[in-house]
Amino acid sequence: LFVGNRATTDRSIVSSAASTTHPLSYDIETATPKLRDMSINEKSHQRKRQSYSSIAREIAAKWNLTTPEAPYLLEQQFYRINDYNPHVDFLHFHHIPKTGGTTISDIMNATLGSLVDGHRGILPGSDRSGTFDPIRFYQMTGIQQSPTSQSNGKEDFPYLASYAHTRLRPIHGPNKTDLAAFFEEYFALPNNTHKRLRSLAMLREPMNLRASNQAMAMCGLNGRVNTVNFQRQQKGLERICTPEQGLNISQLWDGVVDKAMEKCGPNGTIPSNASKVDRYEKDLCRRGREAMDFCRSPSQLLSSSRYKFGMRSMLGGLMKRYVAQEQMGLHEYYSIDVYLERIGLGFSTEKVEEYTLIDLGGLDSDIMHTPYNGYSKKQLSSSNNDGSNTNNAEPDVLWFGITERMKESTCLFFYALNVKPLKKTPRERVMNCSPTSWWTEDHRAEVKRKEPADYAIWRTANAILDVRMMKMQEDIRKKLEDEEGLTQKERDQYRALVEAGCLE
């Protein structure tokens, strides 16, 4: 992962809680040889390293990263090796709801799924917008769950990847997930072979993520807004999506409540002769007309107990911890900053940024479920490319995407997994009226105040994505400058990335 003088620097293991005078910080003027003493080739490499260092500093500043290690760790993305190997790697896409993951699942099915005869590249039991179902795997494949059962051979296990809302990490330790337990069973089946588990992920701007969850999963507002606009269309009126245009979400929800109350029987019962009652109406009947007032507006959601106990720290599932000192898998959806202060670890965005740069950035292949004590040059450069797992390491994050940057994210997906770009990217569940249409910048400021950790992850992820885009584009241009050195398959792949607009 490292080249040049940094690879020869003896770095001690560094704690994520290190002070500003970090052993990893270094002065390029004093730590590098003088250019006049170097060969032409060495000078070229040195100038490139200096360029990367400068770019990393600019990107860190662009995304307001506060950890002093941001420039150094961002620079390492330029040297990070893309080592995906379908023969030794198995990929799991953890689909965090409302991040555009259904689109990614469909892309996986159309690319990785089609690489195997019979379109069998995706593991049965996967669900593009639901949980992984091990029972369905055994039902669909006809393979017996018993480890002593017989199978027809390796053709029973052609699968390259899975996808679901179900998280994979941690696969070791006391908080090991049910999905990790399934994969232990799966790889132990007769004639199957163990593979290195690796993660794919999507994340979304924190306010947008909460807006989308409120609009669809919590309140079903998207469908109701669509109904309003369909009725307007029938009258020859234009679509409305914002309060300025006349959309009143509070009034719309009050209508839902009134309709539900008309269907309710005594003591919250539903009369047998009532017309069809949806799940929201049932909840209102049982708990009262004010039970779901968090649906009336973004402001009421942000001040509600439902937000406090169900929508805090929503990016916690991404790496399954926010800072290096946590044990992986303990935290759920309560406030991570309050939690870290309560257990005596202390909270800072610098800690979150630094850990995100390493873990989400895929810089250390030896991260385990236990508290992460730090990293060294030796650790960061010791990736196991043969798929072996000798130290109980957790699945690394091979690729991640950002909802607001779907075009760039999918280009990096095709590039990292070495698959042909699709002619047309699926657009599943993209609303005509975005759920953020009735949220304001004041609401965004309130979410930023409440969720500093989620915003630290999101900003850091954007910085990493910036570097990866530059690295990918540099690599594509360089390879196509010397097409004679490429195989026909490689030539076709790089040209397809250009045609897909990945250099734009």
* Tens-place pLDDT, residues 301-348: 999 999 998 899 999 999 999 999 999 998 665 789 988 988 899 999
> Which structure tokens are listed for 126?
């996967």
> Which structure tokens are listed for 331?
């935290």
In degrees, rounded to 5, the angle at the alpha carbon of residue 196 between the alpha carbons of residues 193 and 199 is: 135
Closest CA to 14 of 369, 341, 380: 380
In degrees, rounded to 5, the angle at the alpha carbon of residue 10 between the alpha carbons of residues 22 and 386 is: 105
Taken in order 265, 267, 269, 272, the sign of the CA dihedral is negative
95-114 pLDDT, tens digit each: 999 999 999 999 999 999 99
Closest CA to 394 of 458, 333, 329: 329
> Which structure tokens are listed for 503?
């250099």
Query: Can you spell out the DSSP letters for 390-428?
Result: SS-PPPEEEEEEEGGGHHHHHHHHHHHHT-PPPSS---T
- Band of residue 151 on the pLDDT scale cut at 50, 70, 90: low
Partners of 197 in beta bridges? 90
Torsion of CA 309, 314, 317, 318, to 10 degrees: -170
Tell whether the model's pLDDT for residue 274 goes beyond 80: no
> Which structure tokens are listed for 134?
């091990």
Closest CA to 344 of 328, 325, 329: 325
Average pLDDT, the chain: 87
Tell whether the model's pLDDT for residue 24 goes beyond 80: no
Cα(502)–Cα(469) distance, integer angstroms? 9
What is the widest separation between alpha-carbon atoms in the chain? 90
CB-CB neighbours of 464 under 10 Å: 24
What residues contact residue 30 under an 8 Å CB cut-off, 6+ apart?
none
Amino acid, single-letter form, for residue 33: P
Cα(339)–Cα(344) distance, integer angstroms? 9
3-state DSSP call for residue 290? Answer: coil
Lowest mean pLDDT, pick from 68-82, 236-250, 327-341 = 327-341
Tell whether the model's pLDDT for residue 223 goes beyond 70: yes
C-alpha neighbours within 13 Å on the C-beta side of residue 158: 15
The predicted pLDDT at position 278 comes to 85
For the residues 269-296, what does the mean pLDDT come to? Answer: 86
Find out whether 132 and 94 touch, Cβ atoms under 8 Å: no
C-alpha neighbours within 13 Å on the C-beta side of residue 412: 22
Lowest mean pLDDT, pick from 169-183, 240-254, 300-314, 327-341 = 327-341
